[in-house]
Amino acid sequence: MDYFIELLFAGLTRGSIYALIALGYTMVYGIIGLINFAHGEIYMIGAFTSFIVATVLSIYGFPLLAIVVIAGVAAAVWSSAYGFTVEKLAYRPLRKAPRLAPLISAIGMSIFLQNYVLLAQTSDFLPFPELIPEFAFMEPVAHIVGSSDMVILVTTTLVMIGLTCLIKFTKIGKAMRATAQDKTMAVLVGVNVDRVISATFVIGSALAAIGGLLIASHIGQINFYIGFLAGIKAFTAAVLGGIGSIPGAVLGSLVLGLTESFATGYISSDYEDVFAFSLLVLILIFKPTGLLGKAEIQKV
C-alpha cells in the first residue's frame, strides 16, 4: 500500500510538472494554432537561468529563501523574455504563411536554442543546488512523500488557481479567450491580437520556467537537452487532454504522469520513453481531439 501511495504521489508530482509545461503548448495552440516546438527549450532555459542565479547567489552566501525567490523570479522573467522574442522573430512574420512554415521555424528555433545553451554553457550535466529543504513536519511520511513532492504539488496548485483567475477575470484573460474563440471577431470588437499573442507566450513561458525550476531542484541536475524530452511529453499530455483546452492540459498531464509512474513502478522502467511516444502516436491517430478537446471541422 505504501508503495502504491508513493507511486501515486510520484505520478502526481510528475503530472503537475508536465502540466506547467503543457499549459504553454495548449494556450499557444488555442490562440494561433501552432505547435510551439521550441516551448521545451523555453522550459530548459528557465531551468538554466534558475540554476545560474541560484548557484551565484549561494556562492555569495544569500539565505535559502531569498535564493529560491530570486531564482524563481529570474527564471520566469528570462523565460518570458525568450518566449516573447521567439514569437516576434520566428512566428509573427509567418502568421499568414502556410501552416507548416511556422512549425518548421519552431523546430529550427528549438535546435537553435539548444545549441545556443550548449555553446554558451556546457554539454555536461550540472548539479542543481538543493533549494527545497527536508521539512521537519514531513518527517513521519517522508518515506512515502518527499518534501519536494509536496512543494511541487502545492506550488502547481497555486499557480493553476492564479492562472484560472487571470484568464477568467482580467482584461487580458478575456481578450485571450475571445481571440481563441474567433480571431476575426476579436479584432472587430477591438482586441489587440498581437498583444494577446505576446501575452500568451509570456504567460506560457513563465509557467514553463517555474516548472523548470521545480523539476531541476527535484531531480538535482540539468543539461541543455532536458527540454526536448520534457517538451515532447508535455505536448503528449496537452494532446491527450485535448489541445487548446486549459483544463484538458492539466487533466492530460496528470493522467500521463500517473500512468508513467505506475507503469515504471510496477512493470519496467526500460521503456518509459517508448511508452510516452507510443501514447502520443496512438492518441494522435485514434483520438486527435483528446479527452476534452473539441473537434475542428474544416469549412469548405
Partner 1 sequence: MFPVKELKRSALIALWFAFLTFPIMVIKVDPIERVVQYRWDNMFFIAFGSFVISILAKVYVIRKERRAVSKKETAATEPFAQRIIREPRFLYPLVLGCFIFGISFPFLFSTYQTNIMTTALMYVVLGLGLNIVVGVAGLLDLGYVAFYAVGAYSYALLNLNFDLGFWVVLPIGGLMAAFLGVILGFPVLRLRGDYLAIVTLGFGEIIRLVLENWNAFSQGPSGIANIPRPGFFGMDMTFAGGITYIYYLVLLLVVLTIFVVNRLQNSRLGRAWLALREDEIACQAMGIDKTKTKLVAFSLGAFWAGFVGVIFAAKTTFVNPASFTFLESAIILSIVVLGGMGSIVGVIIGALILILLPEYLRALSEYRMLAFGAILVVMMVFKPDGIISNVRRSYHIRKQGLSEGESHE
Ligand X SMILES: Nc1ncnc2c1ncn2[C@@H]1O[C@H](COP(=O)(O)OP(=O)(O)O)[C@@H](O)[C@H]1O
- Residue with the closest Cβ to ligand X? 297
CA 221 vs. chain centroid, Å, equals 18
Interface with partner 1 by CB under 8 A: which range of 3-11, 162-170, 193-201, 274-282?
274-282
* Site track 260-299 with ligand X (rule: CB under 6 A), x = hit: -------------------------------------x-x
Burial of 166 (0-12, 13-18, 19+ CB in 10 A): middle
* Site track 96-125 with partner 1 (rule: CB under 8 A), x = hit: -x-xxxxxxx-xxxxxxxxxxx-xxx----
Per the structure block, which three cell numbers stand in for 271? Answer: 521503456
User: Which residue among 52, 70, 138, 167 contacts partner 1 (CB under 8 A)?
Assistant: 52
Per the structure block, which three cell numbers stand in for 102? Answer: 511556422
Tell me whether residue 12 or residue 47 sits nearer to partner 1 (CB atom): 47
- Interacting positions 2-31 with ligand X (CB under 6 A): none
Indicate the SS3 state at residue 222.
strand
d(CA 147, CA 36): 33
* Neighbour-count burial for 247-279, b at 16+ CB within 10 Å, e otherwise: ebbbbbbbbbbbbbbebbbeeeeeeeeebbeeb
Cβ neighbours, 10 Å, residue 112: 14
Residue bearing cell 522550459? 43
* Site track 214-253 with partner 1 (rule: CB under 8 A), x = hit: --------------x---x--x------------------
Determine contact, residues 112/104, Cβ cutoff 8 Å.
Answer: no
User: Is 134 among the residues that bind partner 1 (CB under 8 A)?
Assistant: no
Binding site for partner 1 (CB under 8 A): 34-35, 45, 48-49, 51-53, 55-56, 59, 74, 78, 81-82, 85, 89-90, 93-94, 97, 99-105, 107-117, 119-121, 126-127, 129, 228, 232, 235, 270-271, 273-274, 277-278, 280-281, 284-285, 288, 298, 300
Binding site for ligand X (CB under 6 A): 297, 299
